[in-house]
Chains A and B, each alone.
Chain A
Amino acid sequence: MQTSVVSAYIIGIVVFIVMLLIAAVVANVIAFQPGTNPSDPRKRKTWFWILGFLTPVLTFLLAFSIVYTGIRMRNVQEKYMTAMCISTVLSFLLYVVSGFMLSKIFNHGKLHHWFS
């Protein structure tokens, strides 16, 4: 039972890391645009938040489909559901906080546009 709850958090962490990596790759793939009102910072920010909102959704869906559906005992199900919800929220918060930190660390690079 204990292992099952941990898996909800592991899924949340894995999803947050993968989504953040994808967001970083997407940000770097988007080329710098010329002009006085370049569209690339807006695109990076948009993609960051799209992937950010997908993070809790994916966390929840993955945990639900991989682990939750296999749990038969009702009280375990309830505990896992609670862990899934916490993991979902945590994955989103971790994604946003880590994104914010990366944006400030690489403040002259493309990741800066996530929070500019």
Chain B
Amino acid sequence: MRCLESFVHLCAIGMFDNEEINILTLDTDQTNGNKGRVEQLIDLYQKVKSEKPENIDGGSPNANTFFSAKINLYRFFTDYNATERKTFQNLSQMNSGTTEQKEDNRELSELLLDEGVRNFALDHGYRAQTHLGSMLMYNGIVEAARSVAADKSKAKSQDKELAAFATKLAQDASNAMVFVFGSVFGGTGASSIPVIPVALTEAVRIVSGGSQSLDLKVVKFGATLLTKYFTFKAPDKSQKEKEKIIADASNFALNSQAALQFYQADPTVKSCYKRLYHIGWPINSIDFTEDNPKTITGGAEQKNDCHVVELLSACAAYDFFTLSKFGNQQAQYLYRSADFSGSGFCFEGSDFVGNEKGLIFENKLGAFLSFAHIVLSVNGAALSNSHGTMGFLERFKAQDIKDYEQGITEAQANDIDEYMKWFAYDYSNGSLTRGWIYQIYKSIKPGRFIFKPSAFTENAKELRDMDPGNLFEDDKHNWDKGGVFSSRYNNYVKTLIDQRCKPKKEQNVNTTKERFLAHIYNSITIVQKFNELN
């Protein structure tokens, strides 16, 4: 889910021009904190993109602007809350049928699954039991499709959303590209990656009543092979006794190794997937129990910080979606390495998206970070709870630029402020809550990450004095300082009100809000001296 969070932020910075992206969240744990967080983030993204607050349609795709991709969200989870579905033992209905069948079922399940595996509660995920997880995830998807096919009006909302996704996939099959995020060392993700293409194919067949099918040679599938990068404290004796089966981070490295052997050899995976991106973290894994000594198996409490590895996964999706040609050959396995010096990685834009697009990535991420700091720090949306984005609108008004006077309400401007808080940081009651990019930066430390450490300060005074034009390590892209009586911000506003920044036809922006965001994007791109890229 955190890879998806990074992916949504890549959409927000404008990496996916003119794209409509359908996202299916897939989890076993309906209440999972990270799942809830990314779904809230997507809802907010859609609010920012939509023209009218009473009609959240997610807007339309644009180019070379913030929030350029249109995102549609489909939520699916395998429901294990009811008692009869709580464990594999209950779910598989082993106690139904004739005496002989019951005996066969029992013997078969005992042969394949330990007693603990058969009886642990599934509502917090598959707890690194991928042999069980793959079977149940496939079953969950097929079961949902059958439920909708049997009687849509009686089907659960999550089943209907899965069916809607499958239908959309079938409609766009000739151009469809599906990218699957998930780790190979945990539970749900690791269980799902191998079965998703075949499960979706089956779902399409069932939902369409057999009239449609997915040709896995036509629909391109890609996925991350994300190996161990985080850890948490090993569960204590009492937790082990209580939970019986619980994910143990000490097995993650071994799980990763075993999974990679599987992905390298499995003929189904090799024929279903076009590209598999091997992503790992060869230095110290981030410890999610640093501040919480209890091992959290899932649920609303599981809200872990984002890591740069997840951003790299999102960039793998970027590579996949922007690829113009796929060969007909079997799965390609890809990896890339980054500079490592001293005690950390030194990341540049090209490390995320390749040499050709590295500067574009730096431009877009830097522009959005500057925008966030203007909104949150300079205009004070985070620090003094004032209106950050409204500051831009007030400036346009003060400079007699009437293009955005109508069409953006205060509430809509506040939505943009809110998104910025998710992206960068929030500050309340004297403490800072790290947003996505602050979390990413923390995971890289003591390494380097395109921007100066001061761009990620957590000190309130330094945030108040933040210079949004002085964020890049490479001074070439910092805004001009101006003369004795000027400042970077003053120079920026001069550019902001310049005719050159007005949205252009090729940006494909229509609504007032889209034009406003494109105007901001253009102005920051020019002052960052990246405009020659576009």
Q: B residues 479-527 with Cβ under 8 Å of A?
A: 485-487, 489-490, 493-494, 497
- Binding site secondary structure of chain A: loop
A35 touches B398 (CB 8 A): no
Residue B228 lies at the interface, judged by CB distance under 8 Å to chain A: no
A34 touches B399 (CB 8 A): no
A37 to B378, CA, bound (A): 12
Q: A residues 41-87 with Cβ under 8 Å of B?
A: 41
Minimum Cβ distance to chain B for residue A29 (Å): 4
Hey, which chain B residues are within 8 Å of A41, CB to CB?
398
Chain A contact residue count (CB 8 A cutoff): 15
Contact of A112 among B390, B399, B487 (CB under 8 A): B399
A68 to B88, CA, bound (A): 108
Hey, which chain B residues are within 8 Å of A98, CB to CB?
none
Hey, which chain B residues are within 8 Å of A36, CB to CB?
379, 386-387, 390-391, 394
Closest B residue to A40 using CB positions:
B398
A108 to B398, CA, bound (A): 8
A34 touches B379 (CB 8 A): yes
A35 touches B400 (CB 8 A): no
Hey, which chain A residues are within 8 Å of B390, CB to CB?
36
Q: Could you mark each residue 366-409 of chain B with 1 if its beta carbon is under 8 Å from any beta carbon of chain A, else 0?
A: 00000000100011100000110011001100111100000000
B399 touches A109 (CB 8 A): yes
Hey, which chain B residues are within 8 Å of A35, CB to CB?
378-380, 386, 391, 394
A108 to B395, CA, bound (A): 10
Hey, which chain B residues are within 8 Å of A107, CB to CB?
399-400
A64 to B10, CA, bound (A): 70
Hey, which chain A residues are within 8 Å of B497, CB to CB?
108-109
B490 touches A31 (CB 8 A): yes
A35 to B485, CA, bound (A): 19
Interface centre among B380, B387, B486, B493 (most CB of A within 10 A): B493
A112 to B497, CA, bound (A): 12
A77 to B98, CA, bound (A): 129
A34 touches B378 (CB 8 A): yes
B485 touches A31 (CB 8 A): yes
Q: B residues 204-258 with Cβ under 8 Å of A?
A: none
Hey, which chain B residues are within 8 Å of A108, CB to CB?
399-401, 497
Closest A residue to B396 using CB positions:
A108
Interface centre among A29, A32, A112, A113 (most CB of B within 10 A): A32
A109 to B395, CA, bound (A): 11
A32 touches B494 (CB 8 A): yes
Minimum Cβ distance to chain A for residue B134 (Å): 53
Contact of B394 among A29, A37, A113, A116 (CB under 8 A): A37
Closest A residue to B485 using CB positions:
A29
Hey, which chain A residues are within 8 Å of B386, CB to CB?
35-36
Contacts A32-B493, A32-B494, A36-B390; is A116 near B398 (CB within 8 Å)? yes
Hey, which chain B residues are within 8 Å of A32, CB to CB?
395, 489-490, 493-494
A38 touches B387 (CB 8 A): no
Minimum Cβ distance to chain A for residue B315 (Å): 32
A109 to B489, CA, bound (A): 15
Chain B interface residues toward A at CB < 8 A: 374, 378-380, 386-387, 390-391, 394-395, 398-401, 485-487, 489-490, 493-494, 497
Sample 24 A-B pairs with CB under 8 A, ordered by A number: A29-B485, A31-B486, A31-B489, A32-B490, A32-B493, A34-B391, A34-B489, A35-B378, A35-B379, A35-B391, A36-B379, A36-B390, A36-B391, A37-B394, A38-B394, A38-B398, A107-B399, A107-B400, A108-B399, A108-B401, A109-B399, A112-B400, A116-B398, A116-B400
